């Protein structure tokens, strides 16, 4: 059973025979007759049906075991390609093996044809690329420099209601954007708030825990991207005819818009869109998906541009251990890298200090090398993804740091240098 299997349905369900059970002995395998409970073994014969995780059982009515939830996110990415174009099938096969061997890694193929590997950090990616080159694909590779994943968000409520008209001019949508609190975004990421919940239970949880209006909380249409991300569409309309008939089209547009934001086609995070009004044609043929999806997407983009758009950057929690004498070197290295010190603890009975700090992932490349150089090799850092924070500055200003980051991402993705203006998405009555 794959991770998308639902009991009672046939999707992502395969019936196959396990050919052999083997014991993993370092680099070698040893065939065994049977494996008692509590042991780790290898199974031969089901490899092609498992992408990352799956549940193998002899019971027809069994439920899936839950997928592992990691405390870190794959926030550093690198693009790979083979030096010899004839080796492309080997690269694709190698990427599949890498995805199976490391549950943390995310592998995607961009529209441009680039193969992207996303990992938890610089060291993790280095190990994955070494495994890919030497064990999985066994071919020489070309690799780009590591790139950080950003998120797009809004910092304020839209200053005007945003209107978009369909191409045939018979349908109009009016929306506003506002920021979600970080607590709501984290609850959505953790699965405490999701599409799968009962509508009333979800409404009560949002009202009790986060102070939402109960009626609005019950009228959440969807989450996005991937139907589970920390962005929501809320229906706050009153008495609009035929609204349910365009719901699927609006949801599709929202998944598209939150997957590819307006600033630099990165995922959105922490955005709430309120659908305030809709004027729809009485004839169903004039309000089909072809008319509504593009219109809703333009409206979402207009909402973001009128709500003080911003860029979120990922932040590591870095823990550094070392003797008291090197604290000056630790602090100076962190200050150069925009690090923010959170705590400093001395370990009782030992001349060792434990420093915790927040370090932007964008500044983490080469951090370990600099730290070792400034402390004579006596400091030992450990990094783990902790949270997202606003990249200080205005992303619409090309001279600011976030503006330069947006420009670099747009160039890398083959988009125009200029962020589209509001007039492209906002229509007049």
CATH number, residue 86: 3.30.70.870
Q: Residue 263: exposed, middle, or buried by beta-carbon count in 10 A (0-12, 13-18, 19+)?
A: buried
User: To which residue do tokens 């604290």 refer?
Assistant: 327
The residue out of 67, 90, 115 marking a domain boundary is: 67
Instruction: Examine the domain organization and report whether 262 and 320 are in the same domain.
Output: no
Q: Is 395 inside any structural domain?
A: no
**How does 109-133 read in b/e, with b if 16+ C-beta sit within 10 Å?**
eeeeeebbbbbbbbebbeebbebbb
409 within a domain of the structure (yes/no) = no
CB 295 within 8 A of CB 302: no
243, 362: one domain: no
Q: What is the mean pLDDT of residues 404-415?
A: 88
Residues 136 and 157 in one domain: no
In this prediction, what percent of the chain has a pLDDT beyond 90?
Answer: 31
The candidate with the shortest Cα–Cα distance to 150, out of 360, 400, 377, 371, is: 360
Same domain for 258 and 385: no
Which residues have a Cβ under 8 Å from the Cβ of 100 and sit 6 or more positions away? Answer: 47, 50, 51, 52
Are 100 and 218 members of one domain? no
Residue tagged 């947006």 (tokens): 406
Decide if pLDDT at 177 tops 90: yes
Local confidence band at 307 (pLDDT 50, 70, 90 cut-offs) = very high
Are 206 and 299 in the same domain?
A: yes
The C-alpha atoms of residue 309 and residue 400 are separated, in whole angstroms, by 14
Asked if residues 174 and 235 have their Cβ atoms less than 8 Å apart, the reply is: no
Q: What is the CATH number of the domain that holds 334?
A: 3.30.70.240
Predicted confidence at residue 135, as pLDDT, reads: 87
Residue 86: inside a domain: yes
Coil, strand or helix: which one is 4?
Answer: coil
Structure-derived torsion over alpha carbons of residues 259, 264, 268, 273, reported in degrees to the nearest 10: -100
The model's pLDDT over 154-164, given as tens digits with 9 standing for 90+, comes to 999 998 999 99
Per-residue pLDDT at 71: 59
Residue 73 reports pLDDT greater than 80: no
Residue 340 to residue 326: CA distance in whole angstroms: 17
Same domain, 142 and 206: no
Report, as an integer, the average pLDDT of 195-209. 89
Say if residues 160 and 258 touch (Cβ distance below 8 Å): no
The residue range of the domain holding 206 is 153-307+419-424
Using the structure block, give the residue that is written with the tokens 């072809």: 290
- Residue 408 counted as domain residue: no
Q: Is 381 part of any domain?
A: yes
Q: Are residues 168 and 233 in the same domain?
A: yes
Total number of domains constituting the chain: 4
- 297 with 319, same domain: the answer is no
pLDDT in tens, 249-284: 999 999 999 999 999 999 999 999 999 999 998 888
Q: Residue for token digits 């307006």?
A: 262
Write out the H or E segment, with its range, that includes residue 79.
strand 76-82
Q: Which of 306, 257, 299 is nearest to 171 (CA)?
A: 299
Give the 3-state secondary structure percentages of the chain, helix then strand then coil, rounded to 5: 30, 25, 40
Residue 164 falls inside a structural domain = yes
Peptide bond into 225 cis (omega under 30): yes
From 67, 93, 122, the end of a domain falls on 67
CATH code for the domain in which residue 11 is found:
2.40.30.10
- pLDDT at residue 72 greater than cutoff 70: no
Identify whether residues 133 and 158 lie together within a single domain.
no
Tens digit of each residue's pLDDT (9 = 90 or more) over 225-254: 888 889 999 999 988 888 889 999 999 999
109-147: per-residue pLDDT in tens? 887 788 999 988 888 888 999 999 888 888 888 888 888
Is the pLDDT reported for residue 173 higher than 90? Answer: yes
Of the segments 4-13, 28-37, 154-163, which one has the largest average pLDDT value?
154-163
Joined together, the tokens standing for residue 323 give: 């003797």
Nearest Cα neighbor of 187 from 270, 122, 284 is 270
Length of the chain: 429
How far apart, in Å, are the Cα atoms of 371 and each of 315, 320, 336, 355, 366? 18, 10, 11, 13, 9
pLDDT in tens, 363-394: 888 888 888 888 888 888 888 888 899 998 89
Which one-letter DSSP state was computed for residue 213?
-
Residue 287 above 90 pLDDT? no
pLDDT value for 367: 87
**Closest alpha carbon to 132 in 75, 72, 79, 74:** 79
Q: What is the 3 state secondary structure string of 355-368?
A: EEEEEEHHHCCCHH
Does residue 396 form part of some domain?
no
Beta strands at 271-279 and 231-235: parallel, antiparallel or unpaired? parallel
Same domain? For 353 and 259 the reply is no
Mean pLDDT of 215-226: 89
Bridge partners, residue 233, by sequence: 222, 273
Report the CATH number that the domain containing residue 224 is assigned in CATH: 3.30.230.10
Around Cβ 328, how many Cβ atoms within 10 Å? 10
Do 133 and 181 reside in the same domain of the chain? no
Contact 131, 101 (CB under 8 A): yes
Boundary-marking domain end, from 67, 89, 104 = 67
Is residue 400 in some structural domain? no
């Amino acid at each position: 059973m794959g991770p998308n299997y639902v009991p009672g349905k046939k999707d992502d369900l395969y019936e196959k025979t396990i050919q052999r059970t083997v014991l993993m002995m370092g680099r070698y395998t040893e065939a065994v007759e049977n494996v008692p409970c509590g042991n780790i073994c290898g199974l031969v014969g089901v490899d092609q049906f498992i992408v990352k995780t799956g549940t193998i059982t002899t019971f027809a009515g069994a439920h899936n075991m839950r997928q592992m939830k990691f405390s870190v996110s794959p926030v550093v990415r690198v693009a790979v390609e083979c030096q010899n174009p004839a080796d492309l099938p080997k690269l694709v096969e190698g990427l599949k093996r890498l995805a199976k061997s490391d549950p943390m890694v995310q592998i995607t193929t961009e529209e441009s044809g680039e193969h992207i590997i996303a990992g938890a950090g610089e060291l993790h990616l280095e190990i994955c690329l070494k495994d890919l080159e030497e064990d999985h694909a066994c071919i020489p590779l070309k690799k780009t420099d590591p790139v950080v994943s950003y998120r797009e968000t809004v910092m304020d409520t839209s200053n005007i209601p945003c209107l978009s008209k369909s191409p045939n001019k018979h349908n109009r949508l009016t929306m506003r954007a506002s920021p979600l609190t970080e607590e709501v975004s984290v609850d959505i990421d953790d699965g405490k708030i999701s599409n799968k919940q009962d509508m009333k239970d979800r409404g009560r949880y949002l009202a009790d825990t986060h102070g939402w209006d109960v009626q609005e909380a019950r009228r959440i249409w969807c989450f996005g991207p991937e139907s589970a991300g920390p962005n929501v569409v809320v229906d706050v309309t009153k008495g609009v005819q035929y609204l349910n008939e365009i719901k699927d089209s609006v949801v599709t547009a929202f998944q598209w818009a939150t997957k590819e934001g307006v600033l630099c086609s990165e995922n959105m995070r922490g955005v709430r869109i309120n659908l305030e009004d809709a004027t729809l044609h009485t004839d169903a043929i004039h309000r089909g998906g072809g008319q509504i999806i593009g219109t809703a997407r333009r409206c979402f983009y207009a909402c973001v541009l009128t709500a003080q758009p911003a860029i979120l950057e990922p932040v590591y929690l870095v823990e550094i251990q070392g003797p008291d004498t090197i604290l000056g070197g630790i602090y100076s290295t962190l200050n150069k890298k925009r690090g923010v010190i959170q705590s400093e603890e001395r370990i009782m009975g030992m001349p060792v200090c434990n420093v915790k700090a927040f370090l932007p992932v964008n500044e983490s490349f080469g951090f370990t090398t600099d730290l070792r150089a400034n402390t004579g090799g006596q400091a030992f850092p450990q990094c783990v993804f902790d949270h997202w924070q606003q990249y200080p500055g205005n992303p619409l200003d090309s001279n600011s740091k976030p503006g330069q980051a947006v420009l670099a991402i747009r160039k890398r993705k083959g988009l125009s240098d200029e962020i589209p203006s509001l007039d492209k998405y906002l229509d007049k009555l």
